[in-house]
Amino acid sequence: MFDALTARFDGIIKRLRGKGRLGEADVDAALREVRLALLEADVNVGVAKSLLARVRERAMGVEVVESLTPGQQVVKIVHDELVTTLGGEAVPLARASSPPLTILMVGLQGSGKTTTAAKLARQLRSSGRHPLLVAADMQRPAAIDQLETLGQQIGVPVHVDRSTTAPRLLKAAVKRARSEGLDAVVVDTAGRLQIDEKLMDELAGMRRAVDPDEVLLVVDAMTGQDAVNVASGFLEKTDITGLVFSKLDGDARGGAAISAREVTGRPIKLAGVGEGLDDLEVFYPERMASRILGMGDVMTLIEKAEATWDEKEAREAAERMMTASFTLEDFLAQFQQVRKMGSVSQLLGMLPGAASALPNAEASEEDLSRVEAIIYSMTPEERRNPKMINGSRKRRIAAGSGTSPQGVNTLLRQFAETQKMMKAFAGGRSPIPGLSVPGRRRKRKR
C-alpha cells in the first residue's frame, strides 16, 4: 500500500543524505517534495500541513545546524515526526477489570469486520487466551454463517442466536464465557453502507448491556480519504477506543492510515496485512514509519520468523547442510517455511533498502512459485538424488510443472552450486577466495 510513497521518500532521502550542508533553501525544497508525496498518497491536508510545520521547525533549529551530517539528521526528524503522526508508540488492547475481556468490532458494511474479528480471536488464542466469538450481526444472516465457518477453521467457539436482539445476545454470550471459563469475547456487530441512527442505537444498546473494554473501529484502508471521514463520523456518534485498519496489503495509496490517528485522536491498535487468518499485526508506529521511509522493519521480520519457523526442523536442516547431505526435499521444506512468513513483497518491505533495490517483487513471487512447482513435479527419489534426472525425466518434470526443460536445468544447476558451497563450508574451506570460514580450524599435523 505504501510502495508509491516509499519510492518518493527514497528519492528525497537520497538527495538529502548527499548534501554536506543544508541551507534554508535546501530544507524548503525537500519539504515541498515531502508535501507533494504526502498529498499524492491521499494524506489529509491538515495532517500533512501539521507534520511539515513540525519538521521545518526542527530542521531549521540547532540540532541540524550543529550536526555533522545535516542531511541524515533531517531524515531522522521526518521519521520522528511521522512516528508522532502515526501515534508515537504501540497501544496494547485494554485489560479487563474482571474477565472476560469484551471487544466490540464496529464499522461500515464491507469494511472487513467479520474476518478481522476471527483474526483477532485467533491472535488471542495463540497468545494463550480462550476467546469466544459472538455473531451479533443480526441484519445479515450470511455474516453469521461466515463467522461460524471461520470459528471452525481457527478452533474458537461461536455464540449464535438468530431469534433474539443484539444486546440480549451479547449479554448471554458474556454469561456463557464466564460459565465456561473463557476470558475474551470478540463481537462481530452489524454494519451499514453509511452511518445512520439505527446503527448507532444498536451499538448504544450493546454498550449498555455489557460495558465493553474495547470498541474497535474496523476501517477499510482501501477507501482512501473517506476512511478518515468514516472514523470521524463514528467518533461523533459513539466512543470508540481504537482503530483497526484492514487490507493494508492492498494497492491503495495509504494516506488514510497516516491521517486517521491525528484526525481522530484514537490509536491504531491493529492492522490487517493479508487475507490469511494469521495476517493481523499489532500496529507499531515506529516500525510503520521506518517501512514508509524505506528503512525496513527487521523486528517484525524476526517476529514472523519466530512465529512460523519450526525450530527443530531448522536445526536438523542446518545439520544436514553442514554435513553436505542437503537435498531438494530439504530445500522445499525450508522454502515452504519461508513462504509461511508472507509474500516476497511483504518480506522485502521489512528489509532496509530492499524495496528500492529489488523493485520487481511480483516477478520474484512468480519465480518462487515456479521453483516450488518444479520440485513438486519430481519423484521423492529424484529430489533426494537430482543426478539421476536425465533428459526424459526433465521433460516429464517440465510438463508436470508447466515450465520448460531449460527451467528445470536452471534450478538443478543452482541447487548443485548451493550443494558445492555447503560442502566447502562443511570441509572448513571458504567458497570465496580470501574469506575464512568462522568456527572451524584445521588440525595441525604432528
For 18, phi and psi rounded to 5 degrees? -80, -10
DSSP notation for 186-251: EEEE---SS--HHHHHHHHHHHHHH--SEEEEEEEGGGTTHHHHHHHHHHHHS---EEEEE-TTSS
Q: How confident is the model at residue 16 (pLDDT cuts 50, 70, 90)?
A: confident
Domains of the chain: 3-86 (1.20.120.140), 101-293 (3.40.50.300), 307-426 (1.10.260.30)
Quote the longest CA-to-CA distance of the chain: 91
Top-ranked range on mean pLDDT: pick from 72-81, 161-170, 274-283 = 161-170
The predicted model gives 254-277 an average pLDDT of 85
Q: Return contacts of 89-92, CB within 8 angstroms, 24+ apart.
A: 89/284, 89/285, 89/286, 90/269, 90/282, 90/283, 90/284, 90/285, 91/242, 91/267, 91/269, 92/269, 92/282
pLDDT digits (tens, 9 = 90+) for 419-432: 776 666 555 544 44
pTM (predicted TM-score): 0.67
Q: Decide if pLDDT at 264 tops 90.
A: no
The count of residues in the chain is 446
Q: How confident is the model at residue 351 (pLDDT cuts 50, 70, 90)?
A: low
Per-residue model confidence (pLDDT) at position 322: 60
pLDDT digits (tens, 9 = 90+) for 313-340: 666 666 665 665 678 887 777 666 666 6
Per-residue model confidence (pLDDT) at position 440: 43
Displacement of CA 411 from its chain's centroid (Å) = 30
Q: Decide if pLDDT at 280 tops 80.
A: yes
Q: Decide if pLDDT at 240 tops 50.
A: yes
Mean pLDDT of the chain: 79
pLDDT digits (tens, 9 = 90+) for 284-317: 888 888 777 766 555 565 566 556 656 666 666 6
